[in-house]
Structure 1
Amino acid sequence: MLWFWPPVNVKELSTGHTVVVKSVEGAIEQMQTWPKKLPIPPKLKAAYPICYGVMEGKHTVDEARQAFDAAAREAKVWRAE
């Protein structure tokens, strides 16, 4: 697992519960549950290659966390700590 800190809290759309995302893999899993609308929101579109890029050594874990946080805010699923 590629862990990041601080975690990002998001709303689980199927249950309404808060999910605490602490890893790049968890961020990718959460983004895959978000509604698919076209055009793809720009911050979500940017977050995927950054998160996958961490696994290839192209981006840092912190860059992935920041991109995921921005995408969650854009998708209106971000929750305060």
Structure 2
Amino acid sequence: MATLWFVPPVFVKTETEGGRHGCNNARAALEQLKTWTRRGPHWHKAWTLCLSALEDDPIDPHVIRKAFVAAAKEAEMYLSPE
């Protein structure tokens, strides 16, 4: 299984009050997506891309990052980098 790293990391909210997590690979993004309750079309696209990447499909990490950012914004989980 490939991890597919991307730079810069995408910062998202966590369940902890004021918490933030920096995702910099498909596996970490998928773990965060699992925890979100708001799941729209961008969430589904990011989920599918992350799963495919972890199954060794040749996906550009920048495509995964872009989809994850869109999903995070859609779910109101996105935090701008400090």
Please, what TM-score do these two structures have when normalized by structure 1?
A: 0.85
Aligned-partner Cα distance in 1 for 2:42–2:4: 21
Q: Which moved more, 1:55-64 or 1:68-77?
A: 55-64
Aligned residue in 2 for 1:47? 46
Aligned residue in 1 for 2:79? 79
Identity %, equivalent residues:
32
C-alpha displacement of 1:2: 2.0
**Amino acid in the other structure paired with 1:2:** L
Alpha carbon RMSD of aligned pairs, Å? 1.3
- Structure 1 gaps of 5+ residues are none
**Amino acid in the other structure paired with 2:59:** H
- Structure 2 gaps of 5+ residues are none
**Amino acid in the other structure paired with 2:40:** P
C-alpha displacement of 1:60: 1.5
Aligned residue in 2 for 1:60? 60
Aligned residue in 1 for 2:31? 29
C-alpha displacement of 1:71: 0.1
C-alpha displacement of 1:51: 1.2
Aligned-partner Cα distance in 2 for 1:78–1:52: 20
Moved runs in structure 1, 4+ residues, more than 3 A?
none
SS at match of 2:35: coil
C-alpha displacement of 1:57: 2.0
